[in-house]
Amino acid sequence: MRVLVTGASGFLGGHVARALERAGHEVIAAGRAVPAGPRRFVRLDLARPAEIAGTLDEARPQAIVHAGANPDAGACERDPVSARVVNVDATAAIARWCAAADAGLIFFSTDQVFSGEGREWNETDAPAPVHVYGRTKVEAEDAVRAAGARAGRACSLRVALAYGFSPSGVRSPVEQVVSVLRAGRPYTLFTDEFRSPILADDVGSACADLLALPELPPVLHLGGPERVDRLVLGRAIARAFGVSEATIVPCRRADAGMHYQRPADTSLNSALAGRLLPRRPRTLAEGLAALAAGDGSGVGVIGS
Ligand SMILES: NC(=O)c1ccc[n+]([C@@H]2O[C@H](COP(=O)([O-])OP(=O)(O)OC[C@H]3O[C@@H](n4cnc5c(N)ncnc54)[C@H](OP(=O)(O)O)[C@@H]3O)[C@@H](O)[C@H]2O)c1
C-alpha cells in the first residue's frame, strides 16, 4: 500500500515509517525539510492547513499515518494559537481529504487527553484534558470523527508515553535519563505520576498491523503492559543502560514547581489493541533490554 507518513522526521513517525517499510508498504514521508535517504518525500507544512489537500491530491496515498504535530506540551501552553493550527486544523484537513478519497487514516492522539484523575483509561472513558496540548488532541479527534469517513477507515490512536531512540537524540525518556545520569547531574523523577510506557518500535509495528486489519477501530489505546510511575521508569532505564542511579531525586508532584498542569495518571488500558492486533507491545524489561543491546529497530545511540 502507498502510505503517507507525516512526522516521519520525528521520533514516532520515524519508527512508523521503518515499520511500514518492513511490512512491504511504499512510504511517502511528508514534512517541512527534505530528509537524507532514498525515501520518497513531499513537502507538507502542518502550519499551512489550506495547502494540505493540494499536496495530498498530488501524492495520492491510499492511507495516511498522521504522526506530525507539535507534541511539546510546554510549547503548546506558550503558543496555543499556533498549537491549534498545527494540531487541530491540519488534522481536520487531512481527515477531510482521507474521507473524500476513501483513504485509511491513523491519527496519532495521546494518553494526555485524560484528566489524570483515574487509572488504566478505556477507549469509552470521557477525555477531559488539563492542558492546551491535550485539548488540541481532543479537538483533533473530534475533527477526525466529523470528517465523515466511511466506517472502519479512520482511527484516533491514543499512544502512551513512548521510549526508544529518536533522531534528535533528546525526545525519548531513555535518552533524557541516560544522558543526565551519565553526566552525574541530578534528575528529578515523580513518584506519583503514572504512565504505561511503550517501546517506540512497537508503536510502529502496531501501525503496520492496524493497516492490515479489514476495519480500523474509531479509537484505540496503545500502551505498554505495565503502569509505572516516573521514578520506576527512570530507575529501570538506568539499570538497563548500566548508569548510576545515585543522582536520581525522587519527588512528589506537589513538591515540584510545575509551569503548567499535567495529568497525574494517564495509564492506558490497551486490552482492545491486544484483541485486535497480532503483536503485543514488549514489557518494559524486554523493551529496555532490546534498546541496550542496540536492537531498538531505530536510529540513534545515546552519547556518552
Ligand atoms: N513521544 C511520545 O511519547 C508520544 C506519546 C503520545 C502521543 N504522541 C504523538 O505522536 C506524534 C509524534 O510525536 P513524537 O514524539 O514523535 O514528536 P517529534 O519527535 O517532535 O516529531 C514531531 C514531528 O512533527 C513534525 N512537525 C512539527 N511541526 C510541523 C509542521 N508545521 N509541518 C510539518 N511537520 C511538522 C516534525 O517535523 P520537523 O522535523 O520538521 O520538526 C516531526 O517530524 C505526535 O502527534 C504526538 O502528539 C507522542
- What's phi and psi for 21, nearest 5 deg? -65, -40
Read off the pLDDT of residues 28-60 as tens digits, 9 standing for 90 and up: 999 998 888 889 999 999 999 999 999 999 999
Read off the pLDDT of residues 277-286 as tens digits, 9 standing for 90 and up: 999 999 999 9
Q: Name the residue at shortest CA distance from atom 15 of ligand 1.
A: 11
Distance (angstroms) between ligand 1 centre and the Cα of 246 equals 32
Would the pLDDT of 74 be above 80? yes
* Cβ of residue 110 lying under 6 Å from some atom of ligand 1: yes
Residue 260 has a pLDDT of 86
Q: Name the residue at shortest CA distance from atom 21 of ligand 1.
A: 10
Q: Where on the phi/psi map is residue 155: left (φ > 0), alpha (ψ -120 to 50), or beta?
A: beta
Q: Name the residue at shortest CA distance from atom 18 of ligand 1.
A: 10
Distance (angstroms) between ligand 1 centre and the Cα of 24 equals 24
Distance of alpha carbon 224 from the chain centroid = 12
From the CA of 33, give the closest atom in ligand 1: 40
Q: How far is CA 63 from CA 16, 181, 210, in A?
A: 13, 41, 11
Extract the C-alpha cell encoding 17: 515509517
Average pLDDT of the segment spanning 64-90: 98
Pocket test for ligand 1, best of 5, 9, 113, 133 (most atoms within 8 A of CB): 9
* Cβ of residue 197 lying under 6 Å from some atom of ligand 1: no
